[in-house]
Structure 1
Amino acid sequence: MKRIVFTGALALAFLGGPAAANEFADQLTALASTDISKIVSDPQVIAAIKAQNAETSGYDQANIDALDKQWRAEIDKSNKPLIDKTLGNALSGHLHEIKERGGGLYTEIFVMDAKGLNVGQSDITSDYWQGDEAKWQETFLIGKGATHIGDVELDESTQSYQSQLSVAITDPDSGEVIGAATFGVNIELLP
């Protein structure tokens, strides 16, 4: 009964408009500074981003657009070389395990490189390039410690209300921001 009441109240808050989108900002910020901070500072995450940054550092916008176009075209096909390569890498497996251990708190997790391209992800994303979106621009481009909290939205696939929480990822050796990560957070399960 408590969950139904909470969900109903949450739906009313969501329908209330933009101010309601920030209602969970304090809880999401706390999550970013605790659990998520530990996840994104994991050596496996850092190593994967640094490796991809070395590979993509010379990419121009034409390269990025071609990869994003390829990703979007592969979504509805049976042959998905770019998607399979990304979802099949060690980082994606690691992120999928974190999502599963989260008990429903995380609806998705993906990590981006210095160009905004996906490095690893728990689930398939609709596009490969996140560099044109606030989740990357308001974290990676802002710098160390930057976070971005998205609006609360109904996730059709899980029928839960979620907010995307994005954070800049810093190389602990150099202190430089090397990438970003986005966590879909089921706000109904926030601690």
Structure 2
Amino acid sequence: MRPKRSIFRIMLDVVVYLGALLMLFGINSFLAGNTVPLYRAIAAGRETAVAIGLIVLYVAASAYIWRQYQDYQLSGKLVVAFVGVSFVIVMGISQVVTRVVRSSLTEDIGAALTIETGGLRNEVDLFFHEKAGQIQTLVLIDSFKEQLAERNASYSGSAADIQAEIEQLDEQWLVASDDDPLITQVTSANADINPLAFQLYDYLEAFPQQTELFITDRYGATVAATGRLSDYYQADEEWWQAAWNDGQGAIYISEPQYDASADIMAILIAVPIVSEEENEILGIARSTVDARGIFAILDRFQRGETGYAFLLNGAGEIIGDSAAENETSDAALSEAIRQQVLEQNVNTVIGLDEAGEETIFGSAPLHSEADAEEASSELNEQLAE
């Protein structure tokens, strides 16, 4: 029969055991940010050797306590039982409190991000409204409408005949030199040659963020432009058909996209030119807008030391990033996070970034089907009046 162990030795055993437990909980919190179970941290390959070593230590300590337990005096057994139960209760309460506090903080941060991203969205919407409104103001000029009405009336024959004539001119346009009369009659800044183009050039000087502007008639043929276009016929373009809107007219605003000719990210805006007297569309005005104005809005965003703003297109690609110079956000924004933002249309997303760090993202949609209608409603209502 082995001698009973003293209270001092029992307490020493308990301290060793509790130390192993505390180290296990500590490494779990360190690896997983107190949010991901330890086995997931191990599966991710983060500090695997340390984690396994601590687990082995915990198992060894448990086996040691269990083996020695039968040698404890009754008072020692009561001490071990009391300390063990108390430890489990305290650790359980601490875990619950930690999760409750974390959940509350996450909700508060998420709510703040939702408000801030909503403010950014409103600023971007205002940018779109401003640029579309500038173009609409231009096309409300009576001389624009008069010259377009004359151009539309100059066609003769059936719709098929008009289409064939425009397509023939489009073929000539593709192979013509820059000094060809077909080109110069459309792009000349001389008011005697093309009064419409002359006004377009003046407009670009007044609004430098608009980098390109041109006008088509109701059939899609280019009437005036501030530079040579790749095509003469525009009615087969998505933006033209959206602005034409089956003859009803609508404001079209594209996603930011790369403009190779200007070597910038740009936004395409198309506005119908409407005759109030006849209540019909006379033509379409199309502008290319420098998107750096939107990126400047993102650059002004700042939240703490790590907060940043970014803009995704419909494909989930980052096209604007306030932290691009620091080379932090593009790597941090995982594909899973991007798809979650796009597909679920949520205001707040919580997930692991590419570095495995938990991050909170606030989002606000721009130009979904509902938002596009809302964003353009004021301008489209003016068109209908």
TM-score by length of 1: 0.77
Q: CA deviation at 1:56?
A: 2.7
Letter in 1 for 2:131: L
Contact 1:24 1:187 in 2 (8 A): no
Structure 2 equivalent of residue 167 of structure 1: 271
Structure 2 equivalent of residue 10 of structure 1: none
Pairing 1:154–2:254 present: no
Contact 1:144 1:169 in 2 (8 A): no
Mark the CA change 1:78 to 1:129 in structure 2 (over 3 Å): closer, same or farther: closer
Pairing 1:69–2:171 present: yes
Structure 2 equivalent of residue 139 of structure 1: 243
2:145 to 46, 51, 60: 46
Structure 2 equivalent of residue 186 of structure 1: 290
Contact 1:56 1:115 in 2 (8 A): no
% identical equivalent positions: 29
1:116 to 212, 217, 220: 220
Q: CA deviation at 1:117?
A: 0.5
Q: CA deviation at 1:124?
A: 1.2
2:202 to 94, 97, 117: 97
Range with bigger deviation, 52-61 or 65-74: 52-61
**Paired residue total:** 165
SS state at 1:124 partner: coil
SS state at 1:127 partner: coil
Map 1:12-27 to 2 at 5 A: 24=124, 27=127
CA RMSD of aligned residues (A): 2.2
Structure 1: give runs of 5+ residues left out of the alignment: 1-22
Contact 1:96 1:123 in 2 (8 A): no
Structure with the greater alpha carbon radius of gyration? 2
Letter in 2 for 1:55: S
Structure 2: give runs of 5+ residues left out of the alignment: 1-122, 189-193, 298-385
Pairing 1:60–2:165 present: no
Q: CA deviation at 1:66?
A: 0.4
Provide the rounded CA distance (Å) in 1 between the counterparts of 2:152 and 2:167. 17
Structure 1 equivalent of residue 128 of structure 2: 28
Mark the CA change 1:67 to 1:24 in structure 2 (over 3 Å): closer, same or farther: farther
Provide the rounded CA distance (Å) in 2 between the counterparts of 1:25 and 1:128. 31
Letter in 1 for 2:203: I
Provide the rounded CA distance (Å) in 2 between the counterparts of 1:115 and 1:30. 27
Contact 2:178 2:184 in 1 (8 A): no
Provide the rounded CA distance (Å) in 2 between the counterparts of 1:140 and 1:57. 21
Provide the rounded CA distance (Å) in 2 between the counterparts of 1:25 and 1:106. 17
Q: CA deviation at 1:24?
A: 4.7
Range with bigger deviation, 86-95 or 155-164: 155-164
SS state at 1:163 partner: strand
Structure with bigger strand share is: 1
Mark the CA change 1:144 to 1:31 in structure 2 (over 3 Å): closer, same or farther: farther
Structure with bigger helix share is: 2
Contact 2:135 2:285 in 1 (8 A): no
Q: Could you list the runs of 4 or more consecutive aligned residues of structure 1 that deviate by over 4 angstroms after TM superposition?
A: 23-26
Mark the CA change 1:156 to 1:80 in structure 2 (over 3 Å): closer, same or farther: same
Structure 1 equivalent of residue 187 of structure 2: 87
SS state at 1:99 partner: helix
What do the CA deviations read for 1:149-179 (whole angstroms, capped 9, x no partner)?
Answer: 2231222333321111001110122221111
Q: Which structure's relative contact order is higher, taking Cα pairs within 8 Å and 6+ residues apart?
A: 1
